[in-house]
Amino acid sequence: MSRAVGVLALQGAFREHAQALRRLGAEIQEVRLPADLAGLSGVVMPGGESTTMRRLLATRGLDTALCDFHAAGGALWGTCAGAILLARDIAGDSDVPGLPPALGLLDMAVQRNAYGRQVDSFTTPLTVQELQAPFEAFFIRAPAITRVGAGVEVLAQYGGQPVAVREGRLLATTFHPELSGDDGMHRLFLNLL
């Protein structure tokens, strides 16, 4: 597979993800339109505001394009709001009229902003399966994973709840690994390609 990786560049810390992936030798393409997916083997969907991101994906046709990309073998990684985009079930969705559906690819349920508001942000070391050392995780208005399906592998937990999961070529983290300065999670994603 190609080492060409896309980073969804609609909002959030997409530049920080791109820098981490470049340090690991990946060729980076910023993704703003479906045509930007051509030739990629994986796409990172960074944090941001998930309802805004869902509207932008739908308006640009990226929702269908990303689902097709994954169906054709492409790997996807969602961090924070990106994890919400991947989730099959999202608490409170019915409270937002006219909200386009999430991608719904990963068999998990999430609750938005479960760890509190911006002022409640925190960092904590996590033991992540397949990483050699503890990973310093940044939780910023993070969602909680409240359920995982039978085929979903839990890679890390915080307070007894999953915070990093994998299902096939899908990876989701409720924290922001791009802010840690540790490229371990990005390396783990590249191993899916």
User: Is 145 assigned a ligand-binding role in the annotation?
Assistant: no
Catalytic: which of 17, 70, 167, 178? 178
- Work out the average pLDDT over 174-180: 96
Annotation says 67 is catalytic: no
Residue 49 annotated in ligand binding: yes
Report the distance separating Cα 86 and Cα 153, nearest Å: 15
Which of the residues 70, 80, 167, 186 is marked catalytic?
Answer: 80
Q: pLDDT digit string (tens) for 85-141? A: 999 999 977 667 788 999 999 999 999 877 766 777 889 999 999 999 999 999 998
Is 94 annotated as a binding-site member? no
Indicate which CATH number applies to the domain containing 68.
Answer: 3.40.50.880
Average pLDDT over residues 41-59: 95
186 is catalytic: no
Q: Is 85 helix (H, G, I), strand (E, B) or coil?
A: helix
Distance CA(99)–CA(97), nearest Å, equals 6
Is 112 labeled as ligand-binding? yes
**Which DSSP category does 129 fall into?**
T
pLDDT in tens, 151-168: 999 999 999 999 999 999
Tell me the one-letter amino acid at 159: G
- Alpha carbon distance 76, 53 (integer Å): 15
Q: Which position among 17, 70, 167, 176 bears the catalytic label?
A: 176
pLDDT score of 1 more than 90: no
* Residue 95, pLDDT score: 67
Structural domains counted in the chain: 1
Q: Is 3 marked within a binding site?
A: no
Which residue range forms the structural domain that includes residue 45? Answer: 4-190
The mean pLDDT of the chain is: 94
Report residue 2's pLDDT band, with 50, 70 and 90 as the boundaries: low
- Annotation says 176 is catalytic: yes
